[in-house]
Structure 1
């Protein structure tokens, strides 16, 4: 039975292990002993005098044929040099002579193997690309306007490489792309503004574009060369992620043929290490660009990526300043005003201004207060019922509410986008922001839903928009998307509202009885942990240690017993931290002036020793004294500094900065690191008990430390919040009352 063919197959196609390469070069894969384990079938086309049965032979056996003018053992020396430098950037490409013709040797790692790729050291280029790149950079960056910057870049790339069409292609959040700039030959139809579905460049292809910043398809009409290996291995087991010659998916080849494109070249554009888009180049005849020229072209992408990042960071900073100013005003109003509701909904600056929403609703103490353009009360109540049933996240947002909640279709012109901040799910208290419908006419390059056609013989062929004529689609029921700065602003507002509510809670929320009950339950829970859990754990640990001393145990059994012992220690640590968490609430607070600098110095010194982190850079700036319990204040900095050190160590140059500044009523300390960072979607849950972020599961921790810090800070009538970006680090803010 033949599998059905459609573009959804693209998402699961293992394009990193195609089992074949493009035929304009050849490939050999050797192990760490330089024994040949794989090679491409076309090797004899380039080296006709090879001995038979190359597999299992040392690469030295064919070195005289590969590099007649090279010193003995030159390939092994190149591999050793790259291995010691942990990179082959300094040696790639190595120029050698094959049968009187210059070739480039490019070496890359593939798991435990080394890929040796040979391709001609010649190009169809008529110009010196490296020289032209330098002259073109100034013209690319001559205009600060983003649209003009992209247009200039497309023109310069076309001038340099001479392809028939050069597009700058930007990816949307859902994976589909749009041509946002274009330079083309006069006779070609314009594609500027056309959209392409995500299936054209599926997810795993986008991942490869992040690792390989250039990608050449020299000729779509050539037959790829199969990779051969021994019977014990499979040609499809050779990972070609970092290969220059990696063969192209047959689906993509057919896609290019349908467009009439015979050669394509792409340069990746990255923003914060994520794929922003591509410089996509099409030629309507075969075109080969050698490795050095491709490497020079990569510089164009890196320069444009830096320019895009700078422009985007500038825009983000402007938004951040605007939203921060709005939240600062709201925070002051809440602390000055007896009514939280009035403080958040005052004219001039209210909850709506914490985002770019056109309306907002505060649902607080069984009252709905609206500002700006919002659905009516009945519609909001029905929306709340849906939220209670379906949303369990503290912060939820979408820009296509009618597609998720069909009843919203009747008011999509007001609220196609919503952001919902849960203040208290138990009390049904929320803040909801609304964005109106943004009607858009999307010009697709052909009907995006037409993926397969039936040929005359009845067979199915892939036809992703065979004619490529523009196909219009009206997109309704969607708003402008919520940007990252809006999400961070609302996350910060949540902390400010929680703090203000806590300050006023005693008189208006009957919190004392709840706290009394909670403490009683916590005492019971603490006793249960210390008695019913710690004693059995001690017994388990003892038995494990006894068994480990038994002679004759196999290695696997000893390993299991060691793991049991380790897991028991981890469980004990978690129990101790939970007991500490419960103890904090019962302690009497006797604040005194606490000198912070000695505390920080002690913790930094200890942490450097514990984590063997002498290379860690720690910047200690302003450290004014604070009012508080000395032991508890020490716990705050111990936990925050430990996290900052632990999560910044994976960075190439780990750095932690401690600073403080005084305000009218408080002193705000900042602990900043350049570590792994926190996903913006997880920021609202950072201080929850046992909550650990998805990207730090392999780093030791219990998920209790930040919950303890928050509990201590609140006991001091202070505030704590965090600002973070994934992959860039985190900044924790702790406000101590003066």
Structure 2
């Protein structure tokens, strides 16, 4: 494909149609027949038949391994399919008396058989030195020193001319945060590189392949050939070790005068944090075993980074949590909620790291710290009300989307808005000041844009890497995940306090009354106008299924109709449950929570077919409430915890509780899919399902029902979650549930 500024992120680098020529590749289908091979096979295998395509791999096994047992490749495949190919890779073999590594991987309906020399150009034995290097790498607990040590140790192990630790920013651009280099080289520490240098699809591959070697940028790649009738099908080389390199990237390295590169992925919570990027100014080959040893360095450094980062995040999180807890107590203690949030030593300014905050509540406007003036604030809130629909919104570049804010960018380049009531113009706003910074780029990032003969703007690798500085203005420090979680929690606490103290005088009650009446009508419509025709649809589908002359395609269609009818019926039933909660009387009694939870867990373990050891039940203090409603709460939340952590190994669900003189707080923790930070504010909304649930069944009603039940009990529910790390749902039951 032609690569230009409109599609450079879609360059299909996983199907380059060629491999690096320091090894060769053969692809076979599930029957063992050769479907693809690299053009250079004959360079490595003497006496190989002229026509390989369509041949069984067994016909050339003797050319690959003179000393290997009969059918050894099939045996490797069988073992690898059962135990994983990481258990077989690399397989040591010989070709014409030379030691080679055979590396096997999956590619759609094919297996990739890749052959590389079992030797490195480096005289250093990486596998022998790895242990000492890791010990020295981890010798310092300081994060920057850890990165510096890592760069130095990787350089000593693999012997490349320059080794950098390269960290990605949110927008995809990268910065060199640590470096070890030969003395004669110019330092690149602190330089930034635009996102186009390592585009999105390349970053995705680094998440799958933790090492990537480009042995010699000056060699010609070897084309992959296949049969004529298969010519339109490209071989997916996502898992390949020899995958050829994008021509743009090859030219980019040549422009830098780099002859060989090697990279090791650094991961944080299953996302790409950065790379250990190694450059050599002469060609350099590293064998597979040595690359695997280097990968171990990356995995250990990733674990260390995650530990250090989590430690820092936990300290920040604890600080914010303590502030929210203190404000929660003050709101329930003081007569005025605004007084509780703004007049004590702990205030709204302690919930996040902000320079100023504004509380707009019950026709009062209270400002803390540095904020825009009254007129500017009035115009800003008008813009917020017209443009922000989410209950939580934040940006670090306010003037870029609201130009009027440029006048006070020194106060409010960053904005976070928590909407309490759009109808009543009630908000909490936090402001972060402009953070002026100078970014040092490795060459002007815009200089890689050229114009071709037809006038099209195209990507061209930069020729100049001289330092180029850019001053970033009208941008604040980023809002962290810990700050977002803190504000979400505070919003829940404010809503709880308002519901406790506002009573019938708030405008919301009239709106709720109207909503309840509409919901009753809606419920009647569902039960009478939807359920009856739905039953008819299901009945007719079942009648049609009795016809033995139906084609398989028709049967599948009818079965889908049946399944869809069942799903819709379940959704209708859950919506009816949701509407009934508001009209039901609360029958409060003391509940034996231990028995209730154990019964639910026992049933859910059978439903989801998981082992009893998956669920750990700790403290289960009794609570007061409506037994039927409370049972529904625990059934829903525990079911979600088990359901959304099924694909995690080992799966863990922990049910625990703490109590004080005011409330009992239950926590249900899992290590499953987790929830994106941007979706947390909508988690309890009706019909809301997360983007990452895939084909896991659900209607998006359950948590809305749970929240409604808890609110009816004058309790609270909130969630702490990270994508890919699991979730913890907290349910606080007031010890006095009189409604």
TM over 0.5: yes
CA RMSD of aligned residues (A): 1.7
Structure 1 residue aligned with 2:627: 630
Structure 1 residue aligned with 2:12: 14
The equivalences for 1:175-574 within 5 A come to 175-234=172-231, 237-453=234-450, 463-574=460-571
C-alpha spacing 1:459/1:256, structure 2 compared with 1 (3 Å)? farther
Q: Alpha-carbon deviations, 1:435-454, whole Å to 9, x = none?
A: 00000110000110011457
Hey, what's the Cα distance between the residues in 1 that align with 2:545 and 2:450? 66
Secondary structure of 2:283's aligned partner: coil
Secondary structure of 1:18's aligned partner: coil
Hey, what's the Cα distance between the residues in 1 that align with 2:117 and 2:191? 36
Hey, what's the Cα distance between the residues in 1 that align with 2:391 and 2:143? 35
Q: Are 1:587 and 2:619 counterparts?
A: no
Deviates more, 1:421-430 or 1:457-466: 457-466
Hey, what's the Cα distance between the residues in 1 that align with 2:609 and 2:458? 59
Question: CA shift at 1:190, angstroms?
Answer: 0.7
Q: Calculate the TM-score normalised by the size of structure 1.
A: 0.97
Contact 2:148 2:180 in 1 (8 A): yes
Contact 1:37 1:229 in 2 (8 A): yes
Contact 2:394 2:414 in 1 (8 A): yes
Question: CA shift at 1:590, angstroms?
Answer: 2.2
Q: Alpha-carbon deviations, 1:594-616, whole Å to 9, x = none?
A: 00011111111111111111265
Q: Alpha-carbon deviations, 1:492-515, whole Å to 9, x = none?
A: 111111111111221441444333
Question: CA shift at 1:641, angstroms?
Answer: 0.9
Q: Alpha-carbon deviations, 1:149-183, whole Å to 9, x = none?
A: 11111111111111111111000011000000111
Secondary structure of 1:724's aligned partner: strand
Q: Alpha-carbon deviations, 1:416-444, whole Å to 9, x = none?
A: 11111111122221111100000011000
Hey, what's the Cα distance between the residues in 2 that align with 1:486 and 1:260? 44
Q: Calculate the TM-score normalised by the size of structure 2.
A: 0.97
Secondary structure of 1:522's aligned partner: helix
Hey, what's the Cα distance between the residues in 2 that align with 1:455 and 1:389? 44
Structure 2 residue aligned with 1:173: 170
Which of these residues, 82, 92, 95, is aligned with residue 95 of structure 1? 92
Q: Are 1:137 and 2:134 counterparts?
A: yes
Contact 2:129 2:157 in 1 (8 A): yes
Q: Are 1:62 and 2:70 counterparts?
A: no
Deviates more, 1:244-253 or 1:343-352: 343-352
Question: CA shift at 1:519, angstroms?
Answer: 2.0
Secondary structure of 1:75's aligned partner: helix
Structure 2 residue aligned with 1:731: 728
Contact 1:229 1:235 in 2 (8 A): no
Hey, what's the Cα distance between the residues in 2 that align with 1:352 and 1:216? 49
Question: CA shift at 1:648, angstroms?
Answer: 1.1
Question: CA shift at 1:457, angstroms?
Answer: 14
Which of these residues, 652, 665, 669, is aligned with residue 655 of structure 1? 652
Contact 2:449 2:460 in 1 (8 A): yes
Secondary structure of 2:213's aligned partner: strand
Question: CA shift at 1:135, angstroms?
Answer: 0.9
Hey, what's the Cα distance between the residues in 2 that align with 1:479 and 1:192? 24
Q: Alpha-carbon deviations, 1:628-661, whole Å to 9, x = none?
A: 1111111111111111111111111111111111
Deviates more, 1:37-46 or 1:343-352: 343-352
Q: Are 1:157 and 2:136 counterparts?
A: no
C-alpha spacing 1:250/1:585, structure 2 compared with 1 (3 Å)? same
Contact 1:688 1:706 in 2 (8 A): yes
C-alpha spacing 1:457/1:614, structure 2 compared with 1 (3 Å)? closer
Which of these residues, 25, 40, 47, is aligned with residue 23 of structure 2? 25
Secondary structure of 2:284's aligned partner: coil
Hey, what's the Cα distance between the residues in 2 that align with 1:658 and 1:459? 60
Which of these residues, 106, 124, 127, is aligned with residue 121 of structure 2? 124
Question: CA shift at 1:9, angstroms?
Answer: 4.3
Hey, what's the Cα distance between the residues in 1 that align with 2:450 and 2:507? 68
Secondary structure of 2:85's aligned partner: coil
C-alpha spacing 1:241/1:480, structure 2 compared with 1 (3 Å)? same
Contact 1:36 1:56 in 2 (8 A): yes
Which of these residues, 574, 577, 584, is aligned with residue 574 of structure 2? 577
Hey, what's the Cα distance between the residues in 1 that align with 2:485 and 2:287? 45
Hey, what's the Cα distance between the residues in 1 that align with 2:452 and 2:534? 69
Contact 1:455 1:461 in 2 (8 A): yes
Contact 1:228 1:235 in 2 (8 A): no
Structure 1 residue aligned with 2:81: 83
Hey, what's the Cα distance between the residues in 2 that align with 1:11 and 1:153? 30
C-alpha spacing 1:465/1:254, structure 2 compared with 1 (3 Å)? same
Hey, what's the Cα distance between the residues in 2 that align with 1:503 and 1:511? 13
Contact 1:448 1:464 in 2 (8 A): no
Hey, what's the Cα distance between the residues in 2 that align with 1:215 and 1:42? 21
Q: Which runs of 5+ in 1 are unaligned?
A: none
Contact 1:398 1:419 in 2 (8 A): yes
Secondary structure of 1:89's aligned partner: helix
Question: CA shift at 1:322, angstroms?
Answer: 0.2
| Large movers: runs of 4+ above 6 Å | 454-461
Q: Alpha-carbon deviations, 1:18-47, whole Å to 9, x = none?
A: 110000000001111111111001100101
Question: CA shift at 1:518, angstroms?
Answer: 2.2
C-alpha spacing 1:629/1:203, structure 2 compared with 1 (3 Å)? same
C-alpha spacing 1:460/1:359, structure 2 compared with 1 (3 Å)? closer
Secondary structure of 1:585's aligned partner: helix
How many equivalent residue pairs?
735
Secondary structure of 1:39's aligned partner: strand
Hey, what's the Cα distance between the residues in 2 that align with 1:426 and 1:520? 20
Q: Are 1:40 and 2:38 counterparts?
A: yes
Contact 2:168 2:175 in 1 (8 A): yes
Q: Alpha-carbon deviations, 1:368-422, whole Å to 9, x = none?
A: 2111111112111111121122211111111111111111111110011111111
